[in-house]
Structure 1
């Protein structure tokens, strides 16, 4: 384990496990457990949890076999890069222990300003294949358009037939030991539309507690609204144009558009816990555009590569950020 990441004593974070983020080991008092919901609950209760918590974590929403089929397709595409352990199945997604993790960086982890290409030249093949997966029919036309996802968003939001799945999505992998996702809320990157979008974070496979899954700041949607209001005020005071204010990559933000690179320090600053959990294939978390979230570093005990996708939905009858009406590409400004 990476002792150099944190000066804190090596005290387990939760359930005997040590959860690391970009700026060190999370302390036990900095974490809580993400509240689980099931389809057995009435729709009104799911809607209440979404409003009050800023998220609703629904267990076993998608058929497990559909998720694992997508995972198998994904690693079938990435296998030529050498990322997988020889002799293992594609669907397992086991990282090659002989590989250099720096040659297999995750897309969209906030390491590149302006959504640039991650990694050095040695990572080119892997990164190109990870990008290409966004355009594959099994992903773009089948998985992203899974009717169960759209139906649940339509019910949660009340948008009914106006529910629209935005074309741009972010299919992220997180190989063991590599940089995790920094602290942010989605409206930062969706400011050209109303703050009403719904994000579905879909883990594509099982994610252990230490496997690099998303973590959510407790009552982070309320803090996110406060942060955005403060940002808007500062933008006006510093003379940013309307276009500059809408841009996530401006002088009042980190160059990556993130609120912070390190979740541990962010928790200390605002005195709020990070809510964590293990995920299973079929689980989905729906969250608001102001819900603050990040991820842990992937230290899965079995070297499993974490894969997940961010799918966003909007009310098509209202203004939404049309910059997202294309497939993901590097340096697209969002």
Structure 2
């Protein structure tokens, strides 16, 4: 049973399906990838980043947060097993926003050649990485509205720049559906593009809803899911609706992921996204 914010996703074939992997024959074919991105709104690229780089960053991240009580005592940082005691919130914030987010380790991961060079090749131009890059870990057992990322599309948060910005979501470790990875509403980018063109979606930055089953019904569409592996990435347009599943891992493992955004340097850049991420930055 898959849930998001406590809502149970319907598993009928017309409401739930698999994400489509990008086939190997297209991986070096830029035109084919663009056709696929326009058709699907996303690209699932298996093994894009060397898994050892993911493992190294995972150790760095959870190791930095361990003194705040995030990890179960006596477990390896790389395993990301959630602690059961209270968390030192002040220490947690200092480690996350004062050390991890502005670190060279994080920047190096986001600019690794299989990411930055890939975007240069795919976009056919010099590229800009938005400085505001978001890291999230979710603990198992958290559910109810507000615990998982609600349904949204990225453009509502990036109104001051180009609508051709591309997001990359990177699961930082193996992420089966039980761990709470991203899910995408099939074909929703086409509906959003139409409504954006008609000026009907110029709302303040906000999520659409936590009710994923209701949203699938209103769009008559499927939520698409996958078991992600360390090194896989999702590239998606600013228009496709997506959300996160709940983490129900029975072993207490936390989901760790990051979402970053690249665009052509020649396109308008949203100046608000050029500072390091902080959860009090109003975006």
Asked if these proteins are the same fold (TM beyond 0.5), I'd say: yes
Shift of 1:51: 1.3
Residue correspondences, number? 274
Cα distance in 2 for partners of 1:233, 1:271 equals: 20
Q: Distance in 1 between matches of 2:208 and 2:81?
A: 32
Match of 1:267 in 2: 216
Q: Is 1:299 aligned to residue 265 of structure 2?
A: no
8 Å CA contact 1:39–1:61 kept in 2: the answer is no
**What residue number does 1:145 align with?**
111
Give the match's secondary structure for 1:87.
Answer: coil
Whether the aligned pair in 1 keeps the contact of 2:123 and 2:263 (CA below 8 Å) is no
Distance (Å, rounded) in 2 between the aligned partners of 1:228 and 1:173 = 31
Secondary structure of the structure 2 residue equivalent to 1:314: strand
Matches within 5 A, 1:154-169: 154-158=120-124, 160=125, 162-169=126-133
User: Do 1:216 and 1:293's aligned partners in 2 also have CA atoms closer than 8 Å?
Assistant: yes
Q: Secondary structure at the match of 1:210?
A: helix
Does residue 37 (structure 1) correspond to residue 19 (structure 2)? The answer is no
Give 2:274's aligned residue: 325
**5 Å matches for 1:54-133?**
54-96=41-83, 98-99=84-85, 123-132=89-98, 133=100
Instruction: Identify if the C-alpha distance between structure 1 residues 234 and 309 changes in structure 2 by more than 3 Å, giving closer, same or farther.
Output: closer
Q: What per-residue deviation string (whole Å, max 9, x for no partner) do you get for residues 23-42 of structure 1? A: 42111122100111255424
CA root-mean-square deviation: 1.9
Match of 2:158 in 1: 190
Do the aligned residues in 2 keep the contact of 1:196 with 1:288 (CA within 8 Å)?
yes
Structure 2 CA distance, aligned partners of 1:20 and 1:129?
A: 30
- For residues 113 and 150 of structure 2, what CA distance do their matches in structure 1 show? 30
Unaligned ranges ≥5, structure 1: 1-17, 104-121, 236-244, 249-256
TM-score by length of 2: 0.90
Q: For 2:122 and 2:158, how far apart are their aligned partners in 1?
A: 20
Alignment match, 1:170: 134
Q: Is the 8 A contact 1:208 1:300 kept in 2?
A: no
User: 5+ residue gaps in structure 2?
Assistant: none
**Does the 8 Å CA contact 1:215/1:276 hold for their aligned counterparts?**
yes
Q: In structure 2, what is the equivalent of residue 212 of structure 1? A: 180
Inter-partner Cα distance in structure 2 for 1:86 and 1:55: 39
Cα pair 1:203 1:283 within 8 Å, conserved: yes
User: 2:229 maps to which residue?
Assistant: 280
Q: CA deviation at 1:225?
A: 1.8
- Normalising by structure 1, we get a TM-score of 0.77
Any idea what SS the aligned residue of 1:48 has? Answer: helix
Q: Could you tell me how far apart the structure 1 residues matched to 2:38 and 2:254 are?
A: 32
Change (3 A) 1:264 1:99: farther
